[in-house]
Amino acid sequence: MENQDGAKAQEFIRGYEYLLSIPIGNFTAQMVHGLQAECERQKKNITELESTSAEELWLRDLRDFEKELDVSNATCVLLLKVLEILLNLSPQ
């Protein structure tokens, strides 16, 4: 049983190895304040997500997808025009 607990503890520590390997001198007050601010932003994001319906999240994702699709389509049109110019094929 003790051996199992030791193995679990080692596995837990491995998950935080990157934190344990950071030199203590890197933990400045500015870094701590930055991390605290990031933590607060993430808490606000969680609160917002929890208060948003699944339907609204889906609609928001759909709008974002449509915007990206529009950009992608515009890029394709532009690339086709450039290719047309390069191949000296004008539509007539």
| CA angle (59, 61, 75) in 5-degree steps | 120
The residue whose two tokens read 């515009």 is 74
pTM of the model: 0.48
Q: What is the DSSP letter of 23?
A: -
User: Taking a C-beta distance cutoff of 8 angstroms, is the pair 13, 20 a contact?
Assistant: yes
40-67 pLDDT, tens per residue?
Answer: 999 999 999 999 999 999 999 999 999 9
By residue count, the chain amounts to: 92
The residue whose two tokens read 């994702």 is 61
Residue 28 is predicted with a pLDDT of 86
Q: Which of 14-23, 26-35, 68-77 has the least mean pLDDT?
A: 14-23
